[in-house]
């Protein structure tokens, strides 16, 4: 599996601080079985997210995972940009990411992240915090190979 990590952060993209969630996400994707993980590409929220996603889909990545930009502030636009790129949503992934650690982090339900398919690429939005990335990958990691196989036309195991 080939993966691309996109960190969405207005401040990190402007050099105000160093991206920490993107490198963590890249490592967790490797641990989940991705042979090649590119990025993190650090972009500002809004149209640069759509551009990065479209470029990743055109580049033939099996999976693109974003971190950041999923909250409820006026500048959090990653779900809107993702919706412009995906062909169909896979809502169960995003719902599970919001619920995985809800008892410990009640605000996790405020994440508006999406998961979906764009051509043969899986796109998943994760929160921007390191904890949100860990929780999200706890959901995504165990199903990643299966969902990528299914998107590529694989059959269910018998």
Contact (CB, 8 A) for 56 and 6: yes
pLDDT at 98 over 80: yes
pLDDT at 158 over 80: no
- Taking each helix axis from N to C end, the angle separating 130-151 and 21-31, rounded to the nearest 10 degrees, works out to 40
- pLDDT tens-digit profile of 16-56? 999 999 999 999 999 999 999 999 999 999 999 999 999 99
Please, which pLDDT band fits residue 7 given cuts at 50, 70 and 90?
very high
In the chain, what are the helix, strand and coil shares in percent, each to the nearest 5? Answer: 45, 20, 35
CA distances from 23 to 5, 40, 65, 105 (A): 8, 6, 12, 22
Tell which residue, 44, 54, 53, has the closest CA to residue 8: 44
Coil, helix or strand at residue 8: strand
Angle (CA) 112-3-14 rounded to 5° is 60
Characterize 91-118 residue by residue with b for buried, 16 or more Cβ atoms within 10 angstroms of its Cβ, and e for exposed.
eebbebbbebbeeebeebeebbbbbbbb
């Amino acid at each position: 599996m080939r993966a691309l990590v996109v960190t969405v952060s207005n401040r990190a993209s402007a050099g105000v601080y160093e991206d920490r969630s993107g490198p963590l996400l890249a490592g967790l994707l490797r641990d989940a079985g991705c042979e090649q993980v590119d990025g993190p590409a650090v972009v500002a929220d809004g149209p640069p997210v759509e551009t990065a996603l479209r470029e990743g889909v055109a580049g033939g990545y099996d999976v693109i995972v974003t971190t950041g930009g999923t909250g409820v502030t006026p500048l959090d636009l990653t779900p809107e940009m993702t919706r412009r790129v995906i062909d169909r949503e896979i809502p169960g992934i995003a719902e599970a990411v919001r619920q995985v650690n809800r008892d410990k982090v009640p605000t996790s339900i405020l994440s508006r992240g999406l998961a979906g398919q764009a051509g043969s690429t899986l796109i998943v939005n994760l929160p921007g915090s390191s904890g949100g990335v860990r929780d999200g990958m706890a959901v995504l990691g165990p199903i990643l190979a299966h969902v990528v196989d299914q998107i590529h036309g694989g059959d269910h195991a018998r």
